[in-house]
Amino acid sequence: MYSDKEQSTAIAYRLIHENLPKFLDNIKIFERLKDIPELYEKCADIYRDIEEYLNIREIDEAFELDYFNEVLTQKEIDVYNLIIGGRSPKEGEEKYKG
């Protein structure tokens, strides 16, 4: 799984060359979103809907560079994707939007 070659299957390669750039892009997007009060409030609402799955006090923490250290395993990546993309509902429930 680990390699010193640039292979998209190597864990370190994927973390640095694929996941980190996406994470940094999401930080930039979130910073712009914070300038629009209506959208930022929706983010706070989304956080309240999914906070039981998160290990943060407020949604802003998920968009700080230090948080990247929290999304290195697949389980943690799945939680981060929940923040970004929402989650599918159980039968009869409304989708939690990300």
Q: What is the largest CA-CA distance in the chain?
A: 48
Site of tokens 């250290």? 69
Q: How many CB atoms lie within 10 A of CB 79?
A: 19
Average the pLDDT over 89-94 and give the result. 63
**CA dihedral over 98, 93, 57, 80, signed as positive or negative:** negative
pTM: 0.78
- Residue range 37-77, pLDDT digits in tens: 999 999 988 888 888 888 899 999 999 999 999 999 999 99
Spatial separation of the C-alpha atoms in residues 67 and 76, rounded to whole Å: 11
pLDDT class of 35 with cuts at 50, 70, 90: very high
Q: What count of residues does the chain have?
A: 98
pLDDT class of 22 with cuts at 50, 70, 90: very high
DSSP designation for 96: E
Domain boundaries, the chain: 11-97
